[in-house]
Amino acid sequence: MISSATSSTSRSSSGAADASDMRAQIKLWLRTIDALLVAIEQTAFEVRSLGDTTASLLHDLRGTPGKGGAAPSVRAFRDDLGQWPARLQRLTSTGIVLTRIAASYRLHTTVAAFQSRKGAARSRAKLHRSSARRLYKLSIQHGGAFLKLGQMLSSRPDLLPAAYVEELSKLQDAAPAVPFREVVRALEAELGRPLAQLFASFEETPVAAASIGQVHRATLHDGRQVAVKVQRPNIESLVGLDMDLLEVFIKALAQGLPPLDYDTIVRETRAMVSAELDYTREAMLTQQLSVFFAGHAHIHVPAVVSELSTRRVLVTEFMPGRKISSVLDELAEARSAGDAGAQAQITDLLSRVLEAYARQVLEVGVFQADPHPGNLLADEHGNLTVLDFGCAKQLEEGQRTRILSLIRAVVLRDTKQMALTMEAMGFRTRSNSLAGLEGYANASLTQMALVKREGGGFASQLEMVAGLAEFGRFVENDPIVTLPEELVMLGRVFGTLSGLFVHYRPDVSATASVLPVVFAALARSIQREQQQAA
């Protein structure tokens, strides 16, 4: 009887807790929907207020001398006013879709209360799939920051349910091309000369179309083959609005995602997407990396044609090669067919990818933060070209020093020092304890063991999934609530690269290419510490 009563009390307490949790989730979704609607309403009110502003400016226009043309303030307003109909239409359609997605999750929370656990899980999986398809269609339709963030999220299975990753992966090559006449108009306006004066030849069909800009192949009058990257018209005016809505959307999903510091992730993503609008910054970083890798036999970054590059146009030398995923897929097929040399080629190519990023991070302090297949080219000789430094992260000296300290602790398998370094970098767990970080250090070292204990080789996908599930249970108990900004994009990069290794399974020797880079950087760090101590 006592046992039965205790069991009954336990079930009652559990049920009360579940009910309390359900009410909390419902409140969360209602706040999310309210936030989305407020964003739409605020912009609608902004449009309404344009009427008063129009009247005022028209009054100014009447007093403007005819021969001098419209006053600068009036011209600026006229240009801005011309963009508002499209902007309002974009806000309305995107806001409605995002609100529907958020509302669907809110309704699921309520419906799940009346379902079995298995039934709720099935309906949640179905909801993830339908919502992911909605987000995919929205990104295709509107482009801009929606497309860019969708592409970025597609390589983050640690952040999103599998259905989102699968659907959004289709966005990697999905950016619609800008009509050629608009490309010509943008080029001539930005560079101040007719197209024929700028280039000896210019291919109308783009080589690549991305979310922020698109690339055309051209020939300069001196015979050089170049890649011309032209920013999409009006993209700047759209990105801010897109990011505001997407920020609310990501926060809406956060309740059902792994517990992470989403505020930092969203803030860093916003900064990186905004930085991509400045081709002047991209030109500077591209040239810096081009000079750095100039003497390398197998790793290249294109040189910048500075006299034709501006804030909205970037011209670089044209680099030969194909998407790395296409080359690796062919080599993997050849390996399966019995080609003995294909495995060595896969290993060589992926070792160059790993070396390229290790050198960027540890030696230059600048790294390309968007390593999707279109930004990594492989030529017929197995040489690697890294493209597109619009999405690039610069690391200050202090950040690089802390990263090196963490690497040193990892190499030594010193979990105590790993925890101390993580604390210094800004990691914080929910328990806000060093013991919590030390637990993460132990769990991370376990996950880094991608080599089998017996016989060598990389772990199977099944082993990786099992290990990640165990790590996920640890994260649930004491989640990280604050992340250092410098590691948000760095984690994304090396998470993507580890996915390449697991999928294409090179020899373990592929990782050996980074050891000289790591040890040289550690030696320099230790030498600096000794000099400072002296």
Would you please indicate which residues are annotated as catalytic (active-site) residues?
Answer: 370
Pick from 149, 134, 148, 144: nearest CA to 100: 134
**β-bridge partners, 92:** none
Grouping H, G, I as helix, E, B as strand and the rest as coil, residue 384 is: strand
Please state the three-class secondary structure of 467-513 as a single string: HHHHHHHHHHHCCEEECCCHHHHHHHHHHHHHHHHHHHCCCHHHHHH
Question: Residue with structure tokens 């040193």?
Answer: 408
Pick from 303, 229, 279, 486: nearest CA to 390: 279
DSSP string, 310-339: -SSEEEEE----EEHHHHHHHHHHHHHTT-
Pick from 132, 157, 148, 150: nearest CA to 499: 157
Helices (H), 231-387: 235-253, 262-275, 279-292, 324-336, 342-359
Q: What angle do CA 263, 264, 270 make, to 5 degrees?
A: 90
Longest dimension (CA), the chain: 99
Q: Strand 384-386 relative to strand 299-300: parallel, antiparallel, unpaired?
A: parallel
Tally Cβ neighbours within 10 Å of residue 270: 19
126: tokens are 């179905």
Contacts 24+ apart (CB under 8 A), 305-311: 305/220, 305/224, 305/226, 308/191, 308/198, 308/226, 308/228, 309/279, 309/280, 309/283, 310/190, 310/191, 310/279, 310/280, 311/190, 311/278, 311/279, 311/280
Task: Tell me if 415 sits within 8 A of 431, measured CB to CB.
Answer: no
Q: What angle do CA 375, 376, 378 make, to 5 degrees?
A: 140
d(CA 149, CA 493): 15
Task: Tell me if 308 sits within 8 A of 317, measured CB to CB.
Answer: no
Q: Strand 384-386 relative to strand 376-378: parallel, antiparallel, unpaired?
A: antiparallel
Residue 281 φ/ψ, nearest 5 degrees = -65, -45
**H/E segment holding residue 362:** none
